[in-house]
Structures are given as structure tokens and as C-alpha cells.
Amino acid sequence: MAIDLTLEPELVELRDRTAEFVRAAVLLAEAEMLSGAGTPDDSLRRRLQQAARDAGVFAPTVAKELGGLGLDMRALSVILEQAGYSLLGPLALHCAAPDEGNMLLLERVADPGQRDRFLKPLAAGDVRSCFAMTEPAPGADSDPSQLATTARRATGGWVLQGRKWFITGADGAAFAIVMTRTGTDAEPAATMFLVPTDTPGFRLVRHIPSLDQGLTGGHCEIELDGCEVGDDAVLGEAGKGFAYAQVRLAPARLTHCMRWLGLARRAQDLALGYAAERTAFGSRLGELGMVQQQLADNEIDLAASRALVREAAWVLDQGSSGKHESSVAKTFTTEAVGRIVDRAVQVCGALGISADLPLSAYLREVRPFRIYDGPSETHRWSIARRALRAVATKESNR
Ligand SMILES: Cc1cc2nc3c(=O)[nH]c(=O)nc-3n(C[C@H](O)[C@H](O)[C@H](O)COP(=O)(O)OP(=O)(O)OC[C@H]3O[C@@H](n4cnc5c(N)ncnc54)[C@H](O)[C@@H]3O)c2cc1C
């Protein structure tokens, strides 16, 4: 089937309305945030989300019956790019990580009771959540099969034991989706649990100071020490944790690309504005060849990233896992977005480095994207192995 990238009139209208909302209501809040603490607090989140509800752009990833816009991945690639035009846009539209990926996972896997208790308040923006997979050494890192946090059967439920870190949004989250080891060494398996953060034995150890600061609730270290939960805390079925992680990961890494692409577009717009105004050596900066080259390379990186993201989104909409396409799009876009923001800083000179423009904050915020949702190296590793397997299969079929 050929990829159809035509945007229907309703999607164009929603795109333009989202763009208008972000420019009118969110960019100002971003400037205020960056001149203050640099991290959005919960009152700012609630205020922006109410404004998004009023503008009819709230929760684009969430199903209509839960109060969202119920868009498919292809439409999301258009809308989330607009949301990402400001660091606060995804938060305002309620499509920021980690809640966005968690809502998708819960929509696909949670049972009716879990939908009522966890998904509904999350989808409504009444609470926040976090996703707890990564662990300090020797636990789960780029290699999730090293999962060390255990869930042991006990009367009427389970006891969780272990430590997690770099858990985004954990401070202030109402609940965590916790990935645990439940299989044996011979037959490793994983199980996900829905754990309210006020459960005895669930402890927020610390905020981990980090380069990026743009997400509510920080990146935290968490301890699970004899944390007892009932059978109803098992998300989906016990033993299927690795399969559920895949349900979340491919779409979540793509939605990250969509949002960061919007921020890269904004960086390029700032660079274009500066190059069109500022003069040096008797001409506008934008008339100098080497400045033009940077602006052109940014346009090329934007267009190439968008094409890869839209293709991967379309593949997911066709019901495929999109593992390969999302890996390709993620690797290219993370690196392209970094290049675009870096070139924008260069074009804007000293002003680019200053806090008078948001570019230095963008530089900080986009860098970690080459590490989370799989470092570039692990994606390249899988892309290469898949390509080599395809050659081997062709040869053995000859
Ligand atoms: C900003 C941010 C937010 C995060 N939020 C969350 C969260 O909410 N929940 C959560 O569970 N985790 C979260 N993480 C953790 C994230 O998932 C991990 O950082 C990621 O899986 C990589 O694991 P690691 O950092 O332990 O790197 P390691 O596994 O220690 O790898 C270190 C480096 O080794 C190289 N490397 C690894 N594997 C290979 C390979 N196969 N081939 C070649 N080189 C390789 C890469 O360069 C990699 O960067 C977050 C991380 C960041 C930076």
C-alpha cells in the first residue's frame, strides 16, 4: 500500500488551531518559566491544560471516550510537531512524556478496574504518572533483560524489591508503572505493576540533577523496599512485561521525535529571524554563504526527519510493530534535532548562548534524547543486525 501523506481539511484546521494556541498561550509561559526556575510546576501545568481544553486541543493522543482527540499516529505527527514548538506545548496539550506513553500502554493493556482507577484520572489531567524501568548497575540499562528489581509472590499479592533511577516525573506522580523480574534464571520473564506512589515501601530517594530541566517532577531515583501490592496491581498479565514494554516503546519514541521536531523548527525560525535582521561586513547575515549553508542544512534536516517520522507513523497505523522504521526515525531525528539547535545557536552568535533567547535551554533539553528511548548506538546495532539478517535470508533462499 502506498503511503498517503495528504492532510485532510479537519487535520489542517486542527494543526493551525494548535499552532495558534502554542504561539498565543504557551510561548509566553515558556519565557516566564525559563527566566525563573526553568522547570514547570504543577500549577503551571494545570493552568496551561485548562487553556488547551478551552481551545479544543487537549489530549490529542487520548481516545475520544476518555475526553481526548483520538488521533492516529499520522495525525499525531502533524499535531505533536506543532505542540513541540514550545518546550511547554506538550505539557499544555497533555501529550508530554512520560504520561503520554503511559496512557497509550494503559489504553491497550489495563483491565476495566485499572482503567477506572488509573487511566481515567490520568487522561483527564487530574494526576501525573511515571514509568520505572531503568536501574543502577548491575540492573536494567540499555539492556532491559538485566532487570534486577524483583516481584515475589506473597499471600494475596506481591512484594516488590529493588531500585530504579532516572525515572522522569516521579516526584509528584500519583502512581508508577514498575517493571519487575518475575521469571527464573532459566526462563526470564518480566511483569509490570501499577503502584500508587504512597504505597508503603515505595520511596523517592532523590532528584538526580541533570542537564535538562524541562519536565515536571524531574528525573528521580526510587527505592522499592518490601513494597506490597495486591494481585489487582499486575498490569495486564504477569510475565508479559517485556511484550508490553514493546507496546509502549515504538510509539513513544516516535512521539518524542514529533515533539522535538517542533522545537527544532522553532530554533530554525529564531535563526532565520536573526539572520534576516542582523548586519555584518556590509550585508545581512542571511546573505553570507556560510550562514546560508547552516540555514539550508537545518531545512534539510527538518524535512528529512519529518519524512522519516511520518513514514514510521504510517507504518504503525497499518498495525505493524514499526520497530525498524521507528529505530531509523529515532536515530536520525535525535541527531538532526541536536544539529539544528546547535546551528541555530551558531547563527545567532552570543545572543544564541544567552538566556535572552531560549536556544541555550533547547540545547540542554534536546541532548539527552540521544540516550533515552534507546541510545543511538543500540538503535544502529539493531538496524545493522536486521539488514545483515535480510541479506543472509536472501542468500539462503537462493
Ligand atoms: C532524560 C532522561 C530521562 C529518562 N527517563 C526515564 C524514565 O522515565 N524511566 C526509565 O525507566 N528510564 C528513563 N531514562 C533512562 C533511559 O531509558 C536510559 O538512560 C537508557 O535506557 C540507556 O541506559 P543507560 O543510561 O543505563 O546507559 P548504558 O546502558 O549504561 O549505556 C551507556 C552508553 O553505552 C553505549 N551503548 C549501550 N549499548 C550499546 C550497544 N549495544 N552498542 C554500542 N554502544 C552501546 C551507548 O553510547 C550508551 O549511551 C531516562 C534517561 C534520560 C537521560
R_g (Cα) of the chain, nearest Å: 22
Is residue 137 one of the residues assigned to a domain?
yes
pLDDT in tens, 179-227: 999 988 888 899 999 999 999 999 999 999 999 988 889 999 999 999 9
Domain boundary among 212, 235, 258: 235
Is residue 4 one of the residues assigned to a domain?
no
To test ligand 1's pocket by mutation, which of 128, 131, 141 has the most ligand atoms within 8 angstroms of CB? 141
395 pLDDT band, cuts 50/70/90, is confident
pLDDT in tens, 140-171: 999 999 999 999 999 999 999 999 999 999 99
Specify the pLDDT at position 37: 78
Let me know whether 110 and 151 are in one domain. no
Is residue 287 one of the residues assigned to a domain?
yes
pLDDT in tens, 21-57: 999 999 999 999 998 877 888 999 999 999 999 999 9
CATH code, domain with 15: 1.10.540.10
Contact predicate 146/140, CB 8 Å: yes
Contact predicate 249/321, CB 8 Å: no
Specify the pLDDT at position 396: 85
Let me know whether 370 and 260 are in one domain. yes
Let me know whether 256 and 391 are in one domain. yes
Pairing of strands 129-132, 175-181: parallel
**Cα 292 to ligand 1 centroid, rounded to whole Å:** 35
CATH code, domain with 252: 1.20.140.10
Instruction: Supply the mean pLDDT for the chain.
Output: 96
Domain boundary among 123, 142, 176: 123
**Cα 281 to ligand 1 centroid, rounded to whole Å:** 45
Let me know whether 214 and 272 are in one domain. no
CATH code, domain with 213: 2.40.110.10
Let me know whether 107 and 209 are in one domain. no
Ligand 1 atom 51: the closest Cα is on which residue? 372
Domain boundary among 72, 91, 123: 123
**Cα 368 to ligand 1 centroid, rounded to whole Å:** 9
Let me know whether 290 and 393 are in one domain. yes
327-345 mean pLDDT: 98
- Scanning the structure block, which residue is given the C-alpha cell 534464571? 185
Q: 42-49, long-range: CB within 8 Å, 24+ apart, which pairs?
A: 42/128, 42/172, 42/216, 44/88, 44/91, 45/91, 45/125, 45/128, 45/216, 46/125, 48/88, 48/91, 48/92, 49/91, 49/92, 49/93, 49/94, 49/125
Kindly tell me if the per-residue pLDDT of 2 is higher than 80: no
Let me know whether 168 and 116 are in one domain. no
- Scanning the structure block, which residue is given the C-alpha cell 544502529? 380
**Per the structure, how many domains does the chain have?**
3
Does 166 contact ligand 1 (Cβ within 6 A)? yes
Is residue 373 one of the residues assigned to a domain?
yes
**Cα 132 to ligand 1 centroid, rounded to whole Å:** 13
Euclidean distance between CA atoms 95 and 49, whole angstroms: 10
Contact predicate 293/275, CB 8 Å: no
Is residue 243 one of the residues assigned to a domain?
no
Let me know whether 84 and 155 are in one domain. no
Is residue 140 one of the residues assigned to a domain?
yes
Express as a percent the part of the chain with pLDDT over 90.
Answer: 90
Ligand 1 atom 18: the closest Cα is on which residue? 372
Specify burial of residue 159 (Cβ count, 10 A radius: 0-12, 13-18, 19+).
Answer: middle
Does 242 contact ligand 1 (Cβ within 6 A)? no
Is residue 199 one of the residues assigned to a domain?
yes
Does 241 contact ligand 1 (Cβ within 6 A)? no
Let me know whether 145 and 225 are in one domain. yes
* DSSP H or E stretch at residue 151: strand 150-154
Is residue 338 one of the residues assigned to a domain?
yes
pLDDT in tens, 225-252: 999 999 999 999 999 999 999 999 889 9
Let me know whether 98 and 153 are in one domain. no
Specify burial of residue 203 (Cβ count, 10 A radius: 0-12, 13-18, 19+).
Answer: middle
Let me know whether 266 and 379 are in one domain. yes
**Cα 140 to ligand 1 centroid, rounded to whole Å:** 9
Does 260 contact ligand 1 (Cβ within 6 A)? no
Length of the chain: 398
**Cα 48 to ligand 1 centroid, rounded to whole Å:** 31
> Range of 84's domain?
9-123
pLDDT in tens, 260-307: 999 999 999 999 999 999 999 999 999 999 999 999 999 999 999 999
Let me know whether 261 and 368 are in one domain. yes
